[in-house]
Structure 1
């Protein structure tokens, strides 16, 4: 099970999930990813933690979480953000810190 509610992600621990990423400007026009863009999804327990629990590169506008990304995490609430680095060095946080909730499972 996975779902997105206002950029908060809910995922059953150890499940596979694919989330599409759509970036829009303030005027609601869509940003088209360019060759050389690097988009990184970062997960921490708290925003103030120094080390990330894991990071994933978003490719072709899709975030793919695999079972091994979350199967060792305790159930609970984490935080994530998404950062875009353009090929010429501009850095933009395109999703500021939001909740990643790792939900309970029965079958593991």
Structure 2
């Protein structure tokens, strides 16, 4: 009878140890997940700020282009952009300084 009681006590002790190990592992995994999510949130926030800045810059560029298209000097602007891209008018000679 004493042996059976000792075996039952040993089984209970082993079960308690296994459950404690599982609980510690679960807590560790949860802590890892929380830390990983916090790192992801931080990275995504900085990425959002960068994209917001780019978005605002693009809005300003679009507004500037809309104002140019709505103005009367659209032809001068198009000519300027064409020259920046090395286009020339018909029958126009373009000289380059190679010195």
Q: TM-score, normalization: structure 1? A: 0.16
Higher helix share: 2
- Structure with greater strand percent: 1
TM-score (norm 2): 0.16
The structure that has the greater radius of gyration is: 2
Larger relative contact order (CA 8 Å, sep ≥ 6): 1
